[in-house]
Amino acid sequence: MNSTTIHAKRSRPAFNWREDLAASRNLSSNQIQAFGFVVGWFESWRVRMALQPGRGSAREFWKVCVLAKQREDWQLTQWAEGMRWYLQWFEICRENGGDGKSVPERLRAAVYSAGARRGLSNETRKSYAGWLVRFGEWAGSARRVLDQEAAREWLTELVASGKRSFSTQKQALNALVFFYKDVCGYEEVELRVKFRKPKPREPVILEIEEVMAVIEKLEPKYQTMASLQYGAGLRLAELSRLRIKDVDLKRGVLTVHQGKGDRDRTTVIPKCLTQTLEEQVAYSRQLWEQDRDNQVPGVSLLGMELKFPKSGTKWTWHWLFPAAELSTDPASGIRRRHHILGKVYGAAFRRAAEEAVPAKRVTTHAFRHAFATHFLEGGADIRTLQELLGHADVKTTQIYAHAAEIGNDNGIRSPMDKVSFPKGLQNGEESQEVPCLRNFPDLPNGRSCTGGAAALGQFGKRLPKTNGGGVHFSQ
């Protein structure tokens, strides 16, 4: 299939409001620019809200977006004229067999459809569709969207802006490759864009006391989730999507399906969580039985419905951490029981972390970092940790070995730890001179060290005296 075939398969003619607006002979250049602004604003909002084009969505946009804040009279007049132009254009499209849908909207629908056929998760479809919507808004026309040279130019601008991480750049590339291969049917896609790879960042490491403090500050309904995330070293998505069949409490083994890179793996279940998880399983069973009694549709199988059509109603496929209320599945429109959403748990986690560990920037992923670091500090080998974390490359795991070496009392130590510091600096006694630093040679400006304050760079001064109520320096 190629671009010609795609055009031939269209059931309706495609109209582009941007092209028609730019070609309007009865409008001035200022009007074209002003109308383009408000209609572009409306179309972006409408596509994001998944609303159909027409008078109803235009009226909702005017109420929610335009009238949401104080506007100048000239703005309201100009924007109203622009929306009237759009509605007239939309009626002409309908009269000529068009549907008035924009290029970004058609791209979004095509990606969602192809993603469902290929069995992509809803999150992946949503991500790819979002990138194609941005690309479609930038390209402006269907003809340019099908041009790989335009895609290469857009990706280059994305990289050059310097505001996108390496993973975000790769995600945009993957979305375009999926579009050209799985939607357009191109056999070869050559975008040839060199990404800007950032320098590696050191992970935020929590001490075990800090981990427990965060868990204690969490709402009770999230404490079991947080405990298991730390105890098994799970990513947020892996934690929220756990099913009953993934938990083997007798063997203490947790199975992670479709983790990062679509890889499966097993990890450990802490023995101290056995009773807590048994109670969580019992709670999940209660909700499952309630749903069966009320004939609620089965849980989502995340793209495996065709392979296991009846498994959604079976107990083994039920969520380990189910949501308390039913919700509408955005992928299918079915009202069913979903798992606790990652963003809901993440928001609760951040609130608890800000209260428990205010000095550190902590997200849910910090518990995975803490698991890895504490695991290595306990004497485990890095290859075992790699398997538990599900890393494809051991280089990714090695960052935790470095963190463990620095933080471990038996690992890397500062040379200052070899200095015998005065007791008064710690327990409030009178300051004392440090014998090992006395008369230290080659000090700046020919000074000699006569007191322990030299260790703090205060040459010729004495160490601070502390009395419990503050710090005072004596000359």
Q: Give CA separation, 312 vs 185, 254, 328, 336, 341, in Å.
A: 33, 20, 15, 10, 18
Q: Which residues contact 396 (CB under 8 A, 6 or more apart)?
A: 386
Determine which one of 106, 125, 368, 369 is catalytic. Answer: 368
Q: What do you get for the CA distance between the two ends of the chain, in Å?
A: 85
- Cα 343 to Cα 45: distance, rounded to the nearest angstrom: 22
- Cα 454 to Cα 433: distance, rounded to the nearest angstrom: 10
Q: Give CA separation, 76 vs 29, 54, 67, 86, 206, in Å.
A: 19, 19, 9, 15, 53
Q: Are 205 and 373 in contact (CB under 8 A)?
A: yes
Record the tokens describing residue 162, joined without a space.
């310097």
Determine which one of 46, 235, 336, 374 is catalytic. Answer: 235
- Cα 223 to Cα 349: distance, rounded to the nearest angstrom: 9
- Cα 18 to Cα 271: distance, rounded to the nearest angstrom: 62
365 among known catalytic residues: yes
339 among known catalytic residues: no
Determine which one of 86, 128, 345, 400 is catalytic. Answer: 400
400 among known catalytic residues: yes
- Cα 345 to Cα 222: distance, rounded to the nearest angstrom: 7
271 among known catalytic residues: no
Nearest to 456 by CA among 428, 437, 429: 437
- Other C-beta atoms closer than 10 Å to the C-beta of 225 total 25
Beta strand segments in 205-294, E: 247-248, 253-256, 265-268
Determine which one of 365, 402, 462, 465 is catalytic. Answer: 365
Nearest to 235 by CA among 99, 128, 346: 346
Determine which one of 152, 260, 265, 285 is catalytic. Answer: 260
7 among known catalytic residues: no
Determine which one of 101, 217, 374, 391 is catalytic. Answer: 391
Nearest to 103 by CA among 10, 209, 238: 10
- Cα 110 to Cα 94: distance, rounded to the nearest angstrom: 21
55 among known catalytic residues: no
Residue type, 67: L
SS3 content of the chain, % helix, strand, coil (to 5): 55, 5, 40
Q: Where in the sequence numbering do the catalytic residues fall?
A: 235, 260, 365, 368, 391, 400
